[in-house]
Amino acid sequence: MTSWETKAAEMVEKQIQARGILSERVLDAMRAVPRHLFIPEELRESAWADCPLPIGEDQTISQPYMVARMTELLSPEEGDSVLEIGTGSGYQSAVLAAMGAVVTSIERIGSLAARARDTLASLGFAVNVIWADGRERVGCAEVFDGVVVTAATPAVEEWWTESLAPAGRLVAPVAVMSGGERLLLRLKNADASLTDTWLDYCRFVPLLGGTQTGSVDGACQ
């Protein structure tokens, strides 16, 4: 039987390096995180496939390449604080944490937040998972070096940009047409002005308002 490390290395080589992701830190993190443990038991055989997969509650874990692409755009340094909106399975958080980022992640579905928290903790990733609507400002006036949104948003919420530190970066799939998004990379300059760059077209599950408890049970682990 092939070990998951071999499958992860193959995924990185064929799906991620082959498409031009060059950051060794991103590639190393994606080799190091056991993606299969963030996926429901019955789908685990497909964990390394080149596509998003269902994780329950009508939500998905993103395609590995999309996780790599957003992580490379964010490029967190060791010790940087990163806010994620849309925890889902917790996989994107784990990749960021594996790069040494200090991650806070917000999820609106309680059952997914609980499962992601369990999976991350069991793997030793100290991610702060918060059950809340990430469109609304959460908690204290914390400032983040990076913000990554992993659900399709009609617009960039003001508090996400306000929470960026100088030289901070935000990456978000912003709706640009019916059923389609485009990745926005927003840099906050030293004088607090913003530089926006529009990148890849993509497809994410929608950012929704409010919270719900959800019903999927148990940890993926």
Q: Is 187 helix (H, G, I), strand (E, B) or coil?
A: strand
User: CA of 176: how far to CAs of 28, 197, 208, in Å?
Assistant: 32, 14, 17
Contact 144, 81 (CB under 8 A): yes
64 near ligand SAH, rule: CB under 6 A: no
C-beta of 80 vs 107, nearer to ligand SAH: 107
Q: Which stretch binds ligand SAH (CB under 6 A): 1-9, 28-36, 88-96, 174-182?
A: 88-96
- Smallest gap, in angstroms, from Cβ of residue 195 to ligand SAH? 25
Binding mask 8-47 for ligand SAH (x = CB under 6 A): ----------------------------------------
Q: For residues 114 and 214, what is the distance between their CA atoms, to the nearest angstrom?
A: 10
Binding mask 146-185 for ligand SAH (x = CB under 6 A): ----xx----------------------------------
Contact 184, 171 (CB under 8 A): yes
Q: What share of the chain is helix, strand, coil (3-state, %, to 5)?
A: 35, 30, 40
Question: Exactly one of 56, 64, 86, 168 binds ligand SAH (CB under 6 A); which one?
Answer: 86
Q: Which two tokens stand for residue 46?
A: 């497909």
Q: Which stretch binds ligand SAH (CB under 6 A): 8-16, 59-67, 118-126, 191-199?
A: 59-67
61 near ligand SAH, rule: CB under 6 A: yes
104 near ligand SAH, rule: CB under 6 A: no
Q: Which of 3, 46, 62, 93 is catalytic?
A: 62
Strand pairing of 53-56 and 128-131?
unpaired
106 near ligand SAH, rule: CB under 6 A: yes
Q: Is 185 helix (H, G, I), strand (E, B) or coil?
A: strand
Q: Which two tokens stand for residue 54?
A: 């269902």
Burial status of residue 9 (CB atoms within 10 A of its CB: 0-12, 13-18, 19 or more):
middle
Q: What is the distance, to the nearest Å, from the Cα of residue 61 to the centroid of all Cα atoms in its chain?
A: 9
Q: Would residue 62 show up in a list of annotated catalytic residues for this protein? A: yes
Residues taking part in catalysis: 62
Residues that bind ligand SAH (CB under 6 A): 59-62, 85-86, 88-89, 91-92, 106-109, 112, 133-135, 150-151, 205, 207-208
